Amino acid sequence: MMSLSVSVSQPLSKVNSSDRSMSKQNLAIPTSPAARVDATFLLSDLPEFTVHDVDGERPSEKALAQRVSDHIANDRYGLAIQSLVKTLTDVEPDEPYWEDIKHLNLGERDLCSVHNLEDFCAGLEELDISNNNIAHLEGAPLTLRRLNVNSNALSSLTAWSHLMNLQYLDISHNSVESLDGLSVLYHLRELRADDNRVSSLDGITGLDGLLKLSVKNNNLKALDLEGAQL
């Protein structure tokens, strides 16, 4: 049982002497302005019930869209993906067929990242992203065989381990100082690394499948190919 107390301010009336014989359980009619009546009610327990989310308490679709928009605006990857999707749409308007694309040219598109490209073009084999501002290649599809990253912002910090299937690579006109990161590209057949800051061929001398190499206009002072598999 549940108890509920209620306090009511009302005037109390005087009780006539003839009413004094009334049972003590009877209440006097309130008429006096200075008195208060306190009454207690006994309520039956409510049956158990389940609380469900109310649609009105959830964020509206508009609010959710705004939240996502705000998140993207503050997320550099979100902005990069947004830019990539726009570029893909401009180049290949038929979005349902993106995953079937084998050759893609995104050169001179003011891109700073290829983040999530692997999700959109999972079967890509040849990619040209020359003349952009790309510093990292995370998101490039691992299916790539040919990659042109000429004239970008690559450095020695750029990771290559996810691109082990590359056979042709052009990283000319970047800021690469070391080729050590390319040592995992076992299938590489041709490498163009002109106009960088390379001072040593360490990293590629063990690539026994490499057939063509161009490293013009770098910082090479001496060339020691002893033990190289070139």
DSSP code of 202?
T
- What are 88-135's pLDDT values in tens digits? 999 999 888 899 999 999 999 999 999 999 999 999 999 999 999 999
Write out the two tokens for 81. Answer: 């993906």
pLDDT value for 126? 99
**SS3 string of 26-84?**
CCCCCCCCCCEEEEEEEECCCCCCCCCCCHHHCCCHHHHHHHHHHHHHCCHHHHHHHHH
pLDDT per position as a tens digit, 4-53: 444 444 554 444 545 444 444 444 444 445 445 454 545 555 555 444 44
Q: Which of 195, 178, 65 is nearest to 130 (CA)?
A: 195
What the block records as the tokens of 5 is: 């107390």
Three-state DSSP state, 6: strand
Distance CA 203, CA 183 (A): 5
Answer yes or no: is 172 within a domain: yes
Helix (H) or strand (E) holding 73: helix 61-73
Residue 191 lies in a domain: yes
Query: Are the C-beta atoms of residues 186 and 163 closer than 8 Å to each other?
Result: no
- Report residue 79's pLDDT band, with 50, 70 and 90 as the boundaries: confident
Predicted pLDDT at 229: 58
Q: Is residue 46 part of a domain?
A: no
Q: Cα separation of 66 and 53, whole Å?
A: 22
- CATH number reported for the structural domain that contains residue 173 in this entry: 3.80.10.10
**pLDDT tier for residue 224 given thresholds of 50, 70 and 90:** low
What is the predicted pLDDT for the residue at 26? 47
Quick one: pLDDT at residue 135?
95
Residue 151 has pLDDT above 90, yes or no: yes
For the stretch 156-210, pLDDT in tens is 889 999 999 999 999 999 999 999 999 999 999 999 999 999 999 999 999 999 9
- Say what the pLDDT of residue 195 is: 98
Q: Is 73 a domain residue? A: no
- Maximum separation of any 2 CA atoms in the chain, in Å: 128
- Report pLDDT for 172: 98
Assess if residue 25 is contained within a domain.
no
In a domain, 32, yes or no: no
The mean of the pLDDT values for the chain is 79
Q: Which pLDDT value is given to residue 35? A: 47
Residue 221 has pLDDT above 50, yes or no: yes
What is this structure's pTM?
A: 0.66
- Confidence band of 146 (pLDDT split at 50, 70, 90): very high
Say yes or no to pLDDT of 57 above 60. Answer: no
Q: Which domain holds residue 113?
A: 81-214
Q: In the predicted model, is pLDDT for residue 153 greater than 70?
A: yes
The encoded tokens of residue 131 equal 């003349």
For the chain, give the percent of residues with pLDDT over 90: 57
Mean pLDDT over 142-153 rounds to 98
- With respect to residue 127, please indicate whether it lies within any of the assigned structural domains: yes
Long-range CB contact pairs, 191-198, < 8 A, 24+: 192/150, 193/218, 194/218, 196/171, 196/172
The count of structural domains within the chain is 1
Residue 178 in any domain: the answer is yes
